[in-house]
A and B are shown apart, each in its own frame.
Chain A
Amino acid sequence: MGIEHIPFVGRSVERVEDAGLLSGRGRYIDDLGTRPGTLHAAILRSPHAHADILGIDAAAAQALPGVAAVLTGRDLLDITAGLVPAVRAAVDARAIAVDRVRYVGEPVAIVLGTDRYIAEDGCDLIEVDYRQRPAVVDPLAALAADAPVLHDGVGANQVSDRAFRYGDPETAFANARHTLSVTVRYPRNTGSPMETYGVVASYDPTDDSYDVLANFQGPFSIHAVVARALKVPGNRLRLRTPPDSGGSFGVKQGVAPYAVLIAAASRKSGRPVKWIEDRLEHLAASVSATNRVTTLTAAFDEHGRVAALDWDQIEDCGAYLRAPEPATLYRMHGNMTGAYAIRHVRMRNRVVLTNKTPTGLVRGFGGPQVYYPLERLMQRIAVTLGLDPLEVIRRNLIPADAFPYRTATGALYDSGNYQHALDVAARDGGLAELVRRRDAARAEGRLYGIGYTAAVEPSVSNMGYITTVLTAAERAKAGPKNGAQATATITLDPVGSVTVQVASVPQGQGHRTVLAQVVADVFGIALDQVRVTADLDTAKDAWSIASGNYSSRFAAAVAGVAHQAATRLRDKLAAVAAAQLNVRAEDLVFAGGRVSARANPDAFLPFARVAATAHWSPGLLPDLDGTPIRETAFWTPPQLTAPDEADAVNSSLCHGFIFDICGLEVDPVTGKIGIDRYVTMHDCGRILHPRMVEGQVRGGFAQALGAAIYEELAYGDDGAFLSGTLADYLLPTATEMPDLTVLHVESPSPFTPLGAKGVGEGNCMSTPVCLANAVADALGLDAIDLPLTPAKLAGLAAGRDEPAPPAGLAAQAQPVGKPGDRTLRGEGTAAVTAPPEAVWSMLLDPDVLASVIPGAHGVRRLSETHFTADVTLGVGPVKGRYKADIRLSDLDAPRAATLAGSVTGALGNGGGTGRLTLEPDGSGGTRIGYRYEAAVGGKVAAVGGRLLDGAARVIIGGFFSALARRAGGSGSGPGWLRRLLARLGISA
């Protein structure tokens, strides 16, 4: 056996995780057994975006056999508190609604049953009496003086407004040859891991302690938030994570409020409680990235060199500001000048609340929202000046000899050579060929565009960056926050095999494999002699607030601290071996499973024997600083200092570089994007495992492609949530993936133990805007927002070169609501043979109404003009019972009436008004005309949005056709509707 150890680090060894995961032996949260007697929770959620809860009648649910308890927000009020955010606003961010709901999907009650089926049965039996309030969905509308206010204690929807100034932006703008602004409305999306949230919790009243198992991903600063929300000290909250997690992408930070909710439910019920979220719950109410409205203005010269930036950011955090928000807005604070040497920056950051799901961590965290406007701006500057966008990017890049480089806003960029990366990407990515293809395509009249993005990818967050939201005075009062403690523990057992424990809480990235590589290299032993455990137990394992799996911190921080712990242990073992071999410790080599003398390989001890010495023969140990059995190392980088008095902050430790090139073509008819080539160049420092890095890049790219083209957490103007299934929230599949060219250059970080930087989030930051820049180039657009759906691009492509419709035709076009407005509108006529007076009396007759309202079980007349009914309605596959309430007004007997109605049920709610006119047809009959507007919310809107318009037309058509039959005549809708209904076998 040679004395050389061939390092595992840098090689794409097979993952130690995979054999178990491939054979069905994964241990995800729903795969672990529970204690006997564990109750299963189902959560009843708000169908309304904004409403008061007037009453909750849970008697029927409580009476259901198998239901152990029904708990509401009021029931948990005394044993829980809110989840305190970084900004002290008067927002009580509780895990369950108390007296008022503020977003669709907000928990209203929890049913605990002997199994999940029974718990869900219980939810169906709860009747909640709501009084709806006006909702506000748009962040700009939420800022208006007359906007509905979500939190009365705040008095307005704006919860933070900070202004920043770096360098001398006023002079730079005053002297600027050119200025240009872009305004971007960045939409909502989410990481949507394939595994949803899960929590299993129990409470021990003897010492007032909670044991919570949750597929939480960190940061563990949230442990303090959860403990506080449960009103126990930290050591009374034992938070554990399962061995495997089905993906997170930031999102599983958001399980924290449910940890509070389920833990409190366990305390109230006196039994362990388990809850596994379903997909509708996940899409509607887990967590979302922030949507943001940004206006970014640049001051630049005729060469496209940017002197100053002015950021105006309005961040929408949803209905409650929950810890760690508004972190999304501040994570990039040191990086607001991107890859560019821009010395003057002005910034205004506002945070508003709206009637949407509260926001939290999503892969890219704040990066997509920043790079979209920044890189759109660079492209716009180039187009405005008639320059090549690539040239404008290049002219503004930070010079290669400037590293480490302090940005205007305070980040310390560790290393890089952006110009080199750009050149390699252009060369190896075949840019010249793409440009030729664009020329050829355009010569044929095809819509081909090229987009570029340069982005700096921050990793290893400074735990103090969020305090930038506070003023310097507020920070001084609270005490400085900073750093990013990473930890690893290495244990030697009595046969000398090695166990590594970390608090990195992997969500599928392969941390256990890389740690085995790192530690095996330090000890010079085989990979399978190192076993790594990464399921965390806050009661027993080493951890700190920065623990967890976020801000791409693993390779840079956790692998590094594991290396440090191993190295410390190795140095002690060297002393042990040196004493036995009678050589100097520094002359020993750890390789090939042995500890050998460098000069005399025959003088050696097996590694396992040296490693076991402290267990069996402590008497042989030399004088050491601690026993070489277990070593726990903590590491925090000194560069991560607290924000200074001028609000400069080094928000992250490492700064990778990305340069993306995309060539694509837009189909002018369908609006579909065909990606011809996508090149993504990464400099993530030293690469520890090339295939895992590639996996991070490809996976991040796929998510970014989804965010750019397919995905949006959509809301109606009334706050109805409209994308509650994976058939509405479209994730890219294998057939949507283009070929991806992944390139690398390596500029090791001088600030991390192994020279590695994070790499997992970069494409989520760079790719959406790169695609948008290419689309803007293809279609010649000044402004384009996400998502780049085929419908949107087809419209833009058509508007680009098609003449306006001839006069007269446009006027006949159906009124089209603005995007996001899902109001159902329709009108039609029906002819009946009875005279208007007869039809009029039929409309006021409960018995007639019962026979003509589709699905009506019974109609009760509460007054001359007020009716109620129970109706069964189906929208696609979703059929449900609703209570209907109908009022007639503006009566003009027997000519016209206005009907206002609402329906409520477990599956959702709706409301609308219609105007009905009766005209004699001149031959004894009546022509009935109708026109309606309706809106639908709740579950039915979330899962059936695609089908609602058609369903409404069928139901209303059914009503008039039944009325016509009853009155002796034939109904008729609008011509096209009649034909469609006829084709579907429905007579209108």
Chain B
Amino acid sequence: MQLDAQQRHRVRFTLNGAPAECEVEPRTLLTDALRHGLGLTGTHVGCEHGVCGACTVAIDGVPARACLTLAVGVEGCDLRTVEGLEPEPGRLGVLQAAFRRHHALQCGFCTAGILMSLDAYLRLRPGAGRAELTEVIGGHLCRCTGYAPIVAAALEAAAILRGESTQAANQEETAHA
């Protein structure tokens, strides 16, 4: 379908489980539509050329760089962003809580993208080990942490999700001693 560049187009999709829509130009990037159109500013823009991974979201369950995706292209898709990771407001999910325990973030700017990649990957391959998860994290740039705590958090979250570690899950509620 050819879209008129001068017109705005209504795009409808599912966003974190709820129906959503926005009106965009054909050239509008998904990052801009999410952040400035829909107000979901948790998805960050780091490079706008697909290298850093900060803007990663899940489109139909597959991680994608939102900065390289046109908003008109997600018509009818199922989108998930970092705002959809919490089981309920104020309570962190397993992966998020593992990141907090391991100090796997400092400035937090790259974090949303890494969470989205890991979330999608662990659904696909729950048994993923260190080498595999390091490769997944290797698709993202973080300038603060040196990556080691991110890998540790991902490994622990994978183990908890597999039901192999419960010790950490209990700590979740006692966040601020």
Contact = CB atoms under 8 A, between A and B. Distances in A.
Partners in one complex: yes
Interface of A: 8, 12-19, 21-26, 28, 30-31, 117, 191-196, 244-247, 249, 278-279, 507-510, 526-528, 691-692, 694-695, 697-703, 725-727, 731, 733-737, 740, 943
A21 B147 CA distance: 17
- Which of B86, B90, B142 neighbours the largest number of chain A CB atoms within 10 Å of its CB? B142
Interface string B128-163: 000000110111111111111111000000000000
Contacts of B112: 24
Given A14-B100, A279-B49, A526-B176, 6 more contacts: A22-B96, A22-B99, A22-B100, A249-B143, A695-B144, A731-B141
29 contacts: A15-B100, A18-B100, A18-B108, A19-B92, A22-B108, A24-B81, A24-B112, A26-B42, A26-B108, A28-B41, A191-B143, A194-B54, A194-B107, A194-B109, A196-B46, A246-B107, A246-B110, A508-B105, A527-B176, A695-B106, A699-B143, A699-B144, A699-B146, A725-B49, A726-B49, A733-B137, A733-B140, A734-B138, A734-B150
A725 B141 CA distance: 13
A727 B106 CA distance: 24
A249 B100 CA distance: 22
A803 to B, nearest CB: 39
Interface of B: 25, 27-28, 35, 40-49, 51-52, 54, 81-83, 85-86, 90, 92, 96, 99-101, 103, 105-112, 115, 134-135, 137-151, 175-177
Contact of B145 (A25, A28, A699): A699
B106 A509 contact: yes
Nearest to B89: A23
Nearest to B28: A117
Given A193-B107, A194-B109, A695-B149, A19 B100 contact: yes
Nearest to B135: A735
- Which of A16, A23, A699 neighbours the largest number of chain B CB atoms within 10 Å of its CB? A23
B149 to A, nearest CB: 7
- Which of B54, B146, B149 neighbours the largest number of chain A CB atoms within 10 Å of its CB? B146
Looking at chain A's contact residues, is the secondary structure mostly helix, strand, loop, or mixed? loop
B92 A23 contact: yes
A14 B134 CA distance: 24
Contact of B176 (A16, A117, A510): A16
Looking at chain B's contact residues, is the secondary structure mostly helix, strand, loop, or mixed? loop
B105 A735 contact: no
Contact of B143 (A12, A22, A193, A697): A193
A631 B9 CA distance: 56
Contacts of A14: 100-101, 175-177
Contact of A193 (B109, B134, B135): B109
Nearest to A26: B108
Contacts of B35: 30-31
A53 B105 CA distance: 45
A244 B111 CA distance: 13
A508 B108 contact: yes
B68 to A, nearest CB: 11
B82 A698 contact: no
A617 to B, nearest CB: 30
Nearest to A737: B147
B138 A735 contact: yes
Contacts of B90: 19
Given A15-B103, A692-B103, A734 B92 contact: no
Nearest to A32: B41
The 8 A-B pairs with the shortest beta carbon distances in the complex, nearest first, are A24-B42, A508-B107, A246-B109, A21-B108, A698-B146, A31-B41, A726-B51, A735-B138
B143 A695 contact: no
Contacts of A22: 82, 85, 92, 96, 99-100, 105, 108, 111, 115
A666 B54 CA distance: 32
Nearest to A22: B96
B115 to A, nearest CB: 7
Contacts of A702: 143, 145-147
B144 A247 contact: yes
B85 A23 contact: yes
B177 A527 contact: yes
B82 A24 contact: yes
A47 to B, nearest CB: 19
B96 A194 contact: no
B81 A725 contact: no
- Which of B43, B45, B134 neighbours the largest number of chain A CB atoms within 10 Å of its CB? B45
B51 A244 contact: no
Contact of A733 (B100, B107, B138): B138
B141 A194 contact: yes
A457 B147 CA distance: 23
Nearest to A276: B45
B49 A24 contact: no
Given A24-B82, A25-B42, A194 B142 contact: yes
Given A507-B107, A695-B149, A699-B146, A279 B46 contact: yes
A740 B82 contact: no
- Which of A12, A247, A527, A733 neighbours the largest number of chain B CB atoms within 10 Å of its CB? A733
B138 A725 contact: no
Contacts of B147: 698, 702, 733-734, 737
Contact of A246 (B47, B83, B101, B108): B108
A12 B103 contact: yes
Contacts of A26: 41-42, 108-109
- Which of A28, A246, A731, A740 neighbours the largest number of chain B CB atoms within 10 Å of its CB? A246
A510 B46 CA distance: 21
Nearest to B114: A734
Contacts of A19: 90, 92, 100, 175
A762 to B, nearest CB: 13
A725 B135 CA distance: 21
Contacts of A725: 47, 49, 51
A650 B107 CA distance: 32
B105 A21 contact: yes
Contacts of B107: 21, 193-195, 244-247, 507-508
A827 B153 CA distance: 55
Contacts of A13: 176-177
A733 B144 contact: no
A797 to B, nearest CB: 26
A528 B112 CA distance: 25
Given A15-B103, A24-B43, A726-B49, A737 B146 contact: yes
Nearest to A17: B108
B106 A244 contact: no
B42 A726 contact: no
B44 A28 contact: yes
Contacts of B54: 194
Contacts of B44: 28, 194-195, 246
Contact of A703 (B43, B92, B143, B150): B143
A777 to B, nearest CB: 24
A473 to B, nearest CB: 43
A584 to B, nearest CB: 32
Contacts of A510: 106
A434 to B, nearest CB: 20
Nearest to B100: A18
A572 to B, nearest CB: 27
Contacts of B115: 22
A599 B90 CA distance: 42
A192 B107 CA distance: 13
A278 to B, nearest CB: 6
A508 B103 CA distance: 11
A24 B83 contact: yes
Nearest to A121: B27
A387 to B, nearest CB: 33
A483 to B, nearest CB: 29
Contacts of B96: 22-23
- Which of B41, B43, B139, B140 neighbours the largest number of chain A CB atoms within 10 Å of its CB? B41
Given A19-B175, A24-B82, A194-B109, A735 B144 contact: no
Contacts of A196: 46
Nearest to B146: A698
